[in-house]
Amino acid sequence: MAEATSLILQDSREDSVSNCQKLCKIGSEDMISRLPDDILCHILSFLPTKYVMGTSILSKRWIYLWTKVSNLDFDDTLLYDREKPRATGERNAVFANFINRFFIHYNVQSFVKFKLKLTEKHHSSHLSAWISAAIMSNVEELSLCIRFGPAWLPESLFSCEKLLALKLHGEIEFNNLESVWFPNLKVLHLKCLPMLDNTCIAMLLSGSPVLEELKIYLIGHGCNQSVHVSSSSLKRLIMQFPSADSPYDDKDYRRVTVDTPSLEFLKLHDYASEEVNMLQACSLIQADISVGYLIGSFTIEFDDYVGMVVQFLRQISVVKALILSEDPIQSENAYGWDWCAPESVPKCLLSCLEVIEFKDFIGEVPEMEMVEYFLKNAMVLKKMIVSSDVVGLEEEVVKKLQFFPRGSSACQLAFS
């Protein structure tokens, strides 16, 4: 191949040979060579493309095997070789030329995944062309991690009918989302995008009619005061807001509304919102909830973490597995909180909840009272896990828990 490819192969030669020799030889028998090409290609699909290409020097059989791998993974940080240093300009030129020639020379018709990690701003002029080439090759999963900014994505990306998964991370910005249309998109990850706000989220969701998984990791820049997630197809939702001491926190986060009737799994780590509203949670069976001391209400006005937990349980009537944790600051702030048992036991405790885990446990009286309440009222509970980083807490807590009454005779206690 051309010079760029030769340089890439040269850089990856030693690593590839060493790793493959270890993998291929078990005793004196070559197990890998017995495998058919499709299995070998599947194994190679988990490696960065640089190392995949490096296997071409192993034997005649491997010379062109890497061209059949359906996943492409380009990472410019892999060009940093301490033993063979190059000038930044040369390194960037080699990387860009390698990707350009890859698309041109091999004329790839289709591949499953295209993963691109860029840390150098010098590659910004090539970004749109690389993404467009991936789209033309009918890519099904596109993953971008951009460390320089701003990086603008081509408009053609947002009308890609073949795309099944889109994962965006870093200094990525959008030109126009009004015409978004992802008819087959199932997975959408939006992590630490500076200009991501409620309007962007709403447009992306409205153009993704069959979306099943959504991950949102927000940072403070440019975000509206509210986040509204509305989707009739969504089954998995993971949302993370910055903690109170986050360098990105500008205290703009105020309300979170979730309207997802098909949702089965929810992970909410929220250390900044004042209100969280679950409009529909009739299908939710697993939840991981962590809230910080800044939150003041959960659907209705509450002054403490306990009230939010109780209200949340009333809204997730069929949940089977639940993880509860709180920001460590919660237990250290001056306000504190007290456990007050609800007048009526939430439905999920009586008939559905099978596993519950308390994270960041420190053994304070309100925490023990909450644990006692769950043990007593969770009638079908199979396992309770108490997780703590406090040294020496386990023995003390276990002694107390053993004497708490249990609504479920099958419940097992575990401390981690």
What pLDDT score was predicted for residue 87?
Answer: 60
Q: Is 185 helix (H, G, I), strand (E, B) or coil?
A: coil
| Pairing outcome for strands 300-301 and 297-298 | antiparallel
Q: Note the pLDDT of residue 412.
A: 87
CA dist 213 → 26, 111, 239, 265 (Å): 40, 22, 11, 9
Cβ atoms of residues 345 and 373 within 8 Å: no
For residue 341, the cross-strand partners are: none
Nearest 10 degrees: CA dihedral of 299, 303, 305, 308? Answer: -20
Amino acid symbol at 36? P
The pLDDT value recorded for residue 1 is 46
Alpha carbon distance 11, 50 (integer Å):
8
Kindly state the tokens that stand for 18.
Answer: 């060493």
Whole-prediction pTM = 0.78
Domain spans, the chain: 1-68, 285-416
Angstrom distances, CA of residue 401 to CA of 8, 50, 363, 373, 412:
59, 54, 11, 11, 11
> Could you give phi then psi for residue 318, rounded to 5 degrees?
-120, 15
| Distance separating alpha carbons of residues 136 and 156, to the nearest angstrom | 10
- Residue matched to tokens 């309440």: 373
pLDDT of residue 16: 52
Task: Give the whole-angstrom CA distance, residue 289 versus residue 322.
Answer: 8
Are the CB atoms for 290 and 327 separated by under 8 Å? yes
Element (H, E) at 396: helix 393-401
Closest CA to 230 of 279, 276, 195, 298: 279
E strand intervals along 164-310: 165-173, 187-191, 213-217, 226-230, 236-240, 255-259, 265-270, 275-280, 286-291, 297-298, 300-301
pLDDT by position in tens, the chain (length 416)? 445 455 555 555 555 555 555 555 545 456 887 889 999 999 999 999 889 888 888 888 888 888 888 899 999 888 766 555 556 667 778 888 888 877 776 656 677 999 999 887 767 778 888 999 899 889 999 999 998 878 889 888 999 999 999 999 999 988 778 889 999 999 999 998 888 888 889 999 999 999 999 999 887 654 556 788 999 999 999 998 765 444 444 444 467 888 999 999 988 887 666 667 777 777 888 888 776 543 333 332 334 455 556 666 766 767 788 887 764 333 333 334 456 666 777 777 888 888 888 888 887 787 888 888 888 888 889 998 888 887 777 777 778 888 888 888 898 888 88
Omega before 261 within 30 of 0, i.e. cis: no
Residue 110: count other Cβ atoms within 10 Å of its Cβ: 11
Nearest alpha carbon to residue 366 among 341, 383, 384: 341
Task: Please report how many Cα atoms fall inside a 13 Å half-sphere around the Cα of residue 103, on the Cβ side.
Answer: 19
How far apart, in whole angstroms, are the C-alpha atoms of residue 414 and residue 408? 15
Q: Please report the pLDDT score of residue 56 as a whole number.
A: 86
pLDDT at 32: 81
Sign of CA dihedral 328, 331, 335, 341: positive
Q: Give residues with Cβ within 8 angstroms of 409, minimum separation 6.
A: none
For 2: left if phi > 0, alpha if psi spans -120 to 50, otherwise beta; the answer is beta
Q: Tokens 């009230």 map to which residue?
A: 307
Secondary element (H or E) of residue 146: strand 141-152
Query: What is the per-residue pLDDT for 359?
Result: 83
What is the pLDDT, as a whole number, of residue 211? Answer: 98
